[in-house]
A and B are shown apart, each in its own frame.
Chain A
Amino acid sequence: MTDIEPDDTVDARGAACPGPLMDLIGAIRGAESGDVVRLLSDNEGSLTDVPEWAEEAGNELLAVEELDDHNAFYVEKA
């Protein structure tokens, strides 16, 4: 468990690739610098495309929390 408090949560569980990443990008687009967005995704592809995009965009992936049937990604907007 992480104690990071997100400013926004995007629940993309059930969405097919690339839906979760696009939902995260949409939330980051509307966020302020320093805000943390939590993405909930049960898509395996998110485990690779979320870290890749975060690095490309200069945002920080603070943590990936492995839960029962999905993962939670915490991304801080640069």
Chain B
Amino acid sequence: MTERVIIVGGGTGGSVLANDLADRLEPELDAGDVEVTLINDGPDHVYKPVWLYVPFGQREPADGRRALDELVDDAVDLRIDRVSAIDTDSQRLRFDGDGPALAYDHLVLATGSTLEPEQIPGLAEGGHDYYSESGSTALRDELLSFTEGELVLSVIGTPHMCPAAPLEFVFMADDWFRERGLREDVEITYTYPIQRVHGNPHIAEWARPIMEERGINVETFFNAESVDPDAETITSMEGTELDYDLLVSIPPHGGVDLIEAAGLGDDGWVDVDKHTLEAEAAENVYALGDTADTGVPNAGSVAHYQAGVVGQRLASEIRDRPATATYDGKTLCFIETGMDAASFVEFDYERPPSPAPPSEKLHWSKLAYNESYWLTARGLL
């Protein structure tokens, strides 16, 4: 009897896990005792961190795309399809169209985040973002010709992908305009929903003085309620109205609908044990990356480390051994502090982050990792 592992989602978590299992379970895969299937709704793997650089004209969206069939081991069945429903009682997936249901013995959900700008009236029409390919190129078209006025970056949705990226954007914009002699003509304002500039108090404490030093205006307790694209204003639930000439937002995020429909968690995030990553509401279901509601940042490094844990646990279960691997909350992020300097943080559930002094070396380390990321996706790094 062949044991079937199905991974839904071909982003960082899903791809790393598929390749991890291809390596770890090679004997069982060769013998036909195990099948690993990776399902994605498109043929490409997308590396989203590239989008931060697109508005500044430094990278192209194509730099963040590779065909999944080039990245994923041949021992993995790659299926390009869209899952429409999960039945955790009968352990089956259904697909768009009339295709037959697919049974699983082990299911891993790595469906990631989607953007929901429509939650805020006027945001889709009035705002730009760099959290999507189309958003990053539309923002590039505006930013490259932006020479004066009010640039507002508003963090609206939390949790959101890459919690460092809003800070990175304003630090890079500040430096970029400064280098071009335009900074005095551009006002930069950063808004955040809570009383500090970042969700993590240690990172907030580090970032706030840098923002003050750079003349970046800060509005805390700012939860966008609506955007008026004609008047070019953004208004918060707290009653503050800001004028903008260019609005860059981190839109509200959500997971995919089928997770809530399957009773696995709210808003598309799967309720999991934050150490084992097992779903709380169903047997034989794991979640990882953004999809797993662990409270750690929605970051590629998290998905990467979690994939290793889930890979070890699945291999143990398939071999009828106790699964002992656990996720300790490990997170690793580079944080750009300008166009040629970056900081770095590493933390977990127990140890808080302590940002490293910004340096050119860390900036180049970030760019070098972005290039070598494709080795991570292949399961090699």
Which A residues are closer than 8 A to B by beta carbons? 14-19, 21-22, 25, 28-29, 49, 52-53, 56-58
Which residues of chain B are within 8 angstroms of A49 by Cβ–Cβ distance? 194-195
Q: Are B237 and A18 in contact (CB under 8 A)?
A: no
Bound state CA distance, A16 and B238, in angstroms?
23
Which residues of chain B are within 8 angstroms of A14 by Cβ–Cβ distance? 295
Which residues of chain A are within 8 angstroms of B199 by Cβ–Cβ distance? 17-18
**Chain B residue at minimal CB-CB distance from A11:** B266
Q: Are A21 and B223 in contact (CB under 8 A)?
A: no
Q: Are A22 and B201 in contact (CB under 8 A)?
A: no
B97 on the A face (CB < 8 A): no
- Pairs across A and B, CB under 8 Å, 30 listed: A14-B295, A15-B295, A17-B199, A17-B201, A18-B158, A18-B193, A18-B194, A18-B199, A19-B159, A19-B295, A21-B194, A22-B159, A22-B194, A25-B193, A25-B223, A25-B237, A29-B223, A29-B237, A49-B194, A52-B195, A53-B194, A53-B195, A53-B221, A56-B195, A56-B221, A56-B238, A57-B221, A57-B223, A57-B238, A58-B238
B239 on the A face (CB < 8 A): yes
**Chain B residue at minimal CB-CB distance from A56:** B221
Task: Scan B199-210; emit 1 where CB is below 8 A from any A CB, else 0.
Answer: 101000000000
- Overall SS of chain B's interface: loop
Bound state CA distance, A17 and B193, in angstroms?
13
**Chain A residue at minimal CB-CB distance from B223:** A25
Which B residues are closer than 8 A to A by beta carbons? 158-159, 193-195, 199, 201, 221, 223, 225, 237-239, 295
**Chain B residue at minimal CB-CB distance from A16:** B295
Number of A-B pairs, beta carbon distance below 8 Å: 40
User: Shortest beta-carbon distance, A17 to chain B, in Å?
Assistant: 7
Q: Are B193 and A57 in contact (CB under 8 A)?
A: no
Tell which of B158, B194, B201, B225 has the most Cβ of chain A within 10 Å: B194
Bound state CA distance, A17 and B198, in angstroms?
11
Closest 9 CB pairs of A and B: A16-B295, A56-B221, A57-B238, A18-B194, A18-B199, A22-B158, A56-B238, A25-B223, A52-B195
Bound state CA distance, A71 and B17, in angstroms?
39
- Besides the known contacts A19-B159, A22-B158, A56-B195, 10 further A-B residue pairs in the complex with CB atoms under 8 A apart: A18-B194, A21-B194, A28-B237, A49-B194, A52-B195, A53-B195, A53-B221, A57-B221, A57-B237, A58-B238
**Chain A residue at minimal CB-CB distance from B349:** A16
Which residues of chain A are within 8 angstroms of B194 by Cβ–Cβ distance? 18, 21-22, 49, 53
Which residues of chain B are within 8 angstroms of A21 by Cβ–Cβ distance? 194
Q: Are A22 and B193 in contact (CB under 8 A)?
A: yes
**Chain A residue at minimal CB-CB distance from B194:** A18
Bound state CA distance, A52 and B201, in angstroms?
16
**Chain A residue at minimal CB-CB distance from B237:** A57
Bound state CA distance, A18 and B238, in angstroms?
17
User: Shortest beta-carbon distance, A56 to chain B, in Å?
Assistant: 4
User: Shortest beta-carbon distance, A68 to chain B, in Å?
Assistant: 22
Bound state CA distance, A71 and B225, in angstroms?
28
Which residues of chain A are within 8 angstroms of B193 by Cβ–Cβ distance? 18, 22, 25
**Chain A residue at minimal CB-CB distance from B294:** A16
Bound state CA distance, A9 and B223, in angstroms?
20
Bound state CA distance, A18 and B239, in angstroms?
21
**Chain B residue at minimal CB-CB distance from A15:** B295
Bound state CA distance, A15 and B158, in angstroms?
13
Bound state CA distance, A15 and B194, in angstroms?
15
